[in-house]
Amino acid sequence: MENIAALSNEQITRDLLPQKFGRRGMIWTGSLIVLCLVGAYAYYRQLKYGLVVTNMRDYVSWGIYISNFVFFVAISLVGSLITAIFRLANVKWATPLTRIAEIIAVSAIVFASLIIIVDMGRPERFMNLFIHGRIQSPIMWDVIVIGTYFFISCLLLYFPLLPDLKILISVKEKTGKALNKLYRFQGSFWKGTKAQFRISDKAINILCIIIIPVAFCIHTVTSWLFATTYRPGWDSTNFGAYFISGAFLVGAGGVVVAMYVFRKAYHLDKYITPKHFEKMGRIVVLLALLYLYFNINEYLVPAFKMKKPEEAHLAQLFTGEYALLFWFAIMIGMIIPIIMLVFTKGRRPLPVFIAGVMVVIGAWFKRYLIVTPTLLHPFLPMQNVPESYHHYFPSWEEWAIAIGSLSGALLIITLFARIYPIIPIHETITEQHEEVEKK
């Protein structure tokens, strides 16, 4: 943050205060709301007629709801990467990115939970999970770790927000009455005393430490939903690590995209600098290489042996029905971003943003490829079922719900940035002081 040093506290505060939506912000938010409503309508139809409105059938019994769920869980992992790992490693440059990462994590985990309820045949029996729950089922493990992760992530979002709330309350004229009430409700007990800071710092440190194993758990357990079955393509001991590396990659990609958008929309050029993109670019390359490594593991080893049940599955991915999608996901999810980002020139803001978008899109399709094609290759031949059971392509209701959930997650992030400063004001000021002192 080379140029922040020259800024006064007032200037920083003014720059970072949440801003009202402009015309583009209005259109953006409006479209997200419309997409959510379309999704809600599709879900209403699903509740009314049953899961028959989807194109899932007895063989492909999990479809894009589940792959979307995996995607959400994956992207939510980034909260722990940027906030916790960087904080514990004392990486100072990442401070402006922590809140972006945390809100992505929280909104993604909210929609991961919602989408899993959408996938249930009897959502009204949700409470059975608590009444009759059995700990031996990986679904229960998922319920437990996702609940825990959500809780910790919320706290990690909230605690660092407290000093900022105090600042927000103090500039009442600028934020408006209704918001001020909210800030007061959430943060008026925070006086900013030394003792309070000490408690808060300690709490944040503890949370940062425990969120790392929990974050590893959420995605490992999610991968076990697949790996604990016998199906070719899922029956792999590589799955936990494979999923986690993929999750870090898509999460970092998501942060890069969000950084760029916020920087443009809120004119934060002074706070999110090319240096940040350069560093995040390096991280994305590293993670993409790691993910590529696990992909090679995941496909090359079974392909070398070509066991009979695996054969049909792999052939379909490499050269068959799903080949186009498969190579597309590999190329834009890993190869092209790696090539772009290894060069210094490729790590300027715009190319990094483009690479981030590619990573995220590639990751979404990758999840789809992990879930669906496997189910089309059961051990026993698919017979004695209607022709439609032999294929799967999501119905419009499934698309609408999937897109609605993605929009919902973006909506949460957008509204959050409307209400709270997306870059921590207090921490930025403190860091600026430290910088000045050093000089």
Partner 1 sequence: MSCNCGGNNCDKNSRRDFLLTSLLATAALAGCSDKKNPFTPEGEVIPSGEKVKLLSVDGEIIEMDKAFLKPVPDLPQLSNSEERKGIAGKKFVMVIDLARCKNLGKCREACNHAHQVHPGQNWIKVLGMEDSDHTAPYWQPTTCMHCDEPPCVKVCPVDATFKRQDGIVLIDSDRCIGCRFCMAACPYSTRVFNWEEPILIKEVADDQEVVGHHYSCETSTPQKKGTVGKCDFCPDMARKGELPHCVSACPNGVFFFGDMNEDSVTNGAETFQFSQLIKDKAGYRLMEDLGTKPRVYYLPPVNRSFPYESGLENEKQEDKKAN
d(CA 138, CA 222): 8
Closest CB 382 distance from partner 1, rounded Å: 8
Q: Which is nearer to partner 1, 195 or 380 (CB)?
A: 380
Closest CB 40 distance from partner 1, rounded Å: 19
Q: Which is nearer to partner 1, 254 or 302 (CB)?
A: 302
Closest CB 136 distance from partner 1, rounded Å: 6
Residue 332 is given by DSSP the state I
Closest CB 271 distance from partner 1, rounded Å: 44
**Number of helices followed by number of strands (H, E) in the chain:** 20, 0
Q: Which is nearer to partner 1, 122 or 194 (CB)?
A: 122
Is the C-alpha dihedral spanning 67, 68, 69, 73 positive or negative? positive
Closest CB 228 distance from partner 1, rounded Å: 7
Closest CB 329 distance from partner 1, rounded Å: 22
Reading the block at residue 319, the tokens are 């050269």
Closest CB 36 distance from partner 1, rounded Å: 24
Closest CB 298 distance from partner 1, rounded Å: 18
Cα angle at 195 between 191 and 198, to 5 degrees?
A: 110
d(CA 377, CA 375): 5
Q: Which is nearer to partner 1, 125 or 275 (CB)?
A: 125
Reading the block at residue 72, the tokens are 């959400």
Q: DSSP letter string over 336-387?
A: HHHHHHHSGGGGSHHHHHHHHHHHHHHHHHHHHHHHHHHHT--SS---SS-G
List Cβ neighbours of 150 (8 Å cut-off, separation of 6 or more).
106, 109, 110, 113
List Cβ neighbours of 27 (8 Å cut-off, separation of 6 or more).
none
Residues that bind partner 1 (CB under 8 A): 49-52, 54, 56-59, 61-62, 119-123, 125-126, 128-129, 131-134, 136-140, 143, 225-226, 228-231, 375, 378-387
Q: Which is nearer to partner 1, 2 or 124 (CB)?
A: 124
Q: Which is nearer to partner 1, 2 or 387 (CB)?
A: 387
List Cβ neighbours of 131 (8 Å cut-off, separation of 6 or more).
none
d(CA 205, CA 73): 23
Q: Which is nearer to partner 1, 125 or 172 (CB)?
A: 125
d(CA 134, CA 143): 11
Q: Which is nearer to partner 1, 189 or 230 (CB)?
A: 230
